[in-house]
């Protein structure tokens, strides 16, 4: 039963998004900032939890806000520990706890509220649902009504767009405003648009009836509402369509080049993915074809590389369009820290950015990415860690591991069901009491 409960807890964790994992109750314990470097040869203890997560886990929205904190779970209740194993937020909440802008939404029973980093409840438990703060505002639902509150709990707007580039659009009493990230109203928009997008490159996409244009942060319509279709600006260009003609424009509304393809995505790192007749390629910001339309799919560039597929085989190209990782794998993950996980048959390994298999395809499973220079690998039912040379630096001896974060990784063996945190040498730093 214990093992089943553990697996269920882990499955729930993997299937929950950061937005879902954000809500709880009261306590006055003070969160003390923890040093990134712990004293040598010190082993700390923590309580016996059903599950622990990595410090400052990938699921957290803001790394700085969650530094030095790890979610822990006992009997389906959640709290936080610090890097000495101390329980700084008691295990009494009904959700995973992640701070955003110094506050975290927490749930007890069927009501949500907000705590600060001292564990103090700063906004009482009164909401049917609550989301994280962004730009000083958070969406809440109370008695069936959706509204946006500020950090004091005051109802401020009926709607607040997601902040980007320090700007957002908000709506109140059927009036629209442009806000900066201090919450200041920069201007009131002169027209009630049907839709207003997120600010990108200083401009926001707007819609009147079935036509599109762009406004700046003063609310001025700098590109007239005239297009049948328009995408957001990225890297100074936006794709528009008018009278069956597709082309990219710059921020002065000047036509840069025609698009002789079925569609194009926005530019990233100077390149855009284009498609025609279900074949994908790449163009640069002059419209020049960098990669011929020969792939079945191209993913966006990450870490300077893009994964591609042709005839059901995966590889990766660089920004010149050169195939660096040959199209020979059954699967490939995105590049992170200069490496990508690959799969061939039922075995996994990692390739680097010159296409070399630095971690041989000999493992039954791996985690998706390298984290802090190490990757978790599994063989014959046991997990351990390899470095970027493919060397097994932490022996494959655990039944389950999480990625390294802030120099520590949670590991467990099912023989005793006791979690512990190890450092990159494999030394136990925090153990279960």
pLDDT digits (tens, 9 = 90+) for 110-120: 999 999 888 89
Residue located via tokens 């990757």: 375
Q: Residue 62: its pLDDT value, please?
A: 63
Q: Residue 177: its pLDDT value, please?
A: 95
Q: Whole-angstrom distance between the N-terminal and C-terminal Cα of the chain?
A: 22
**Tokens representing residue 40 in the block:** 């040598």
Four-point Cα dihedral 52, 56, 58, 64, nearest 10: 160
pLDDT of residue 72 exceeding 60, the answer is yes
Q: Residue 58: its pLDDT value, please?
A: 57
Q: State the Cα–Cα distance between residues 145 and 137, nearest whole angstrom.
A: 16
**Tokens representing residue 19 in the block:** 């937005």
HEC string for 1-62: CHHHHHHHHHHHHHHCCCCCCCCCCCCCCCCCCCCCCCCCCCCEEECCCCEECCCCCCCCCC
pLDDT digits (tens, 9 = 90+) for 373-398: 999 999 999 999 999 999 999 999 99
Averaged pLDDT for residues 335-359: 98
Using the Cα atoms of residue 60, residue 61, residue 65 and residue 67 in order, give the sign of their dihedral. Answer: positive
Q: State the Cα–Cα distance between residues 158 and 426, nearest whole angstrom.
A: 51
Using a cut of 0.95, tell me whether the model's pTM lies above it.
no
DSSP secondary structure of 379-390: ETTEEEEE-TTS
Q: Which residues pair with 283 in a beta bridge?
A: 272, 289
In contact, 156 and 150? CB cutoff 8 Å: yes
| Confidence band for 61, pLDDT divided at 50, 70 and 90 | low
| Confidence band for 29, pLDDT divided at 50, 70 and 90 | very low
Q: In terms of residues, how long is the chain?
A: 433
Q: State the Cα–Cα distance between residues 132 and 43, nearest whole angstrom.
A: 34
Averaged pLDDT for residues 366-373: 96
pLDDT digits (tens, 9 = 90+) for 225-249: 999 999 999 999 999 999 999 999 9
Q: Residue 372: its pLDDT value, please?
A: 96
pLDDT of residue 33 exceeding 50, the answer is no
């Amino acid at each position: 039963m214990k093992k089943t409960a553990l697996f269920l807890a882990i499955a729930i964790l993997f299937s929950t998004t950061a937005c879902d994992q954000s809500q709880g109750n009261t306590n006055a314990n003070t969160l003390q900032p923890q040093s990134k470097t712990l004293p040598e040869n010190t082993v700390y203890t923590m309580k016996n939890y059903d599950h622990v997560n990595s410090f400052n886990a990938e699921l957290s929205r803001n790394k700085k806000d969650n530094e030095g904190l790890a979610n822990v779970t006992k009997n389906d209740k959640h709290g936080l520990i610090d890097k000495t194993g101390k329980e700084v937020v008691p295990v009494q909440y009904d959700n995973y706890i992640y701070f955003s802008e110094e506050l975290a939404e927490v749930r007890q029973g069927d009501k949500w509220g907000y705590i600060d980093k001292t564990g103090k409840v700063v906004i009482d438990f009164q909401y049917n649902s609550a989301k994280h703060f962004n730009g000083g505002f958070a969406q809440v639902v109370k008695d069936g009504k959706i509204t946006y509150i500020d950090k004091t709990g005051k109802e401020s707007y009926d709607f607040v767009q997601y902040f980007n580039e320090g700007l957002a659009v908000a709506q109140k009493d059927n009036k629209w405003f442009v806000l900066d990230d201090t919450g200041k109203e920069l201007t009131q928009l002169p027209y009630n648009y049907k839709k207003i997008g997120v600010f990108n490159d200083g401009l926001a996409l707007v819609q009147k009836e079935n036509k599109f244009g762009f406004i700046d942060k003063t609310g001025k319509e700098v590109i007239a509402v005239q297009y049948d279709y328009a995408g957001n600006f990225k890297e100074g260009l936006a794709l528009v369509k008018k009278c069956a003609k597709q082309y990219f424009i710059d921020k002065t509304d000047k036509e840069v080049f025609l698009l002789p393809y079925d569609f194009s995505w926005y530019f990233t790192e100077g390149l855009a993915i284009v498609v025609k007749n279900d074949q994908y390629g790449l163009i640069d910001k002059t419209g020049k074809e960098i990669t011929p339309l020969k792939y079945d799919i191209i993913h966006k560039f990450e870490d300077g590389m893009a994964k591609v597929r042709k005839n059901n085989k995966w590889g990766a190209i660089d920004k010149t369009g050169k195939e660096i990782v040959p199209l020979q794998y059954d699967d490939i993950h995105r590049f992170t820290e200069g490496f990508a996980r690959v799969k061939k048959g039922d075995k996994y390994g990692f390739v680097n950015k010159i296409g070399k298999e630095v971690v041989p395809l000999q493992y039954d499973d791996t985690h998706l990415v390298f984290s802090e220079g190490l990757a978790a690998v599994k063989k014959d039912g046991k997990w351990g860690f390899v470095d970027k040379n493919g060397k097994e630096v932490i022996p494959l001896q655990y039944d389950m591991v999480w990625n390294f974060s802030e120099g520590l990784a949670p590991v467990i063996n099912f023989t005793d069901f006791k979690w512990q945190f190890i450092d990159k040498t494999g030394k136990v730093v925090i153990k279960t009491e």
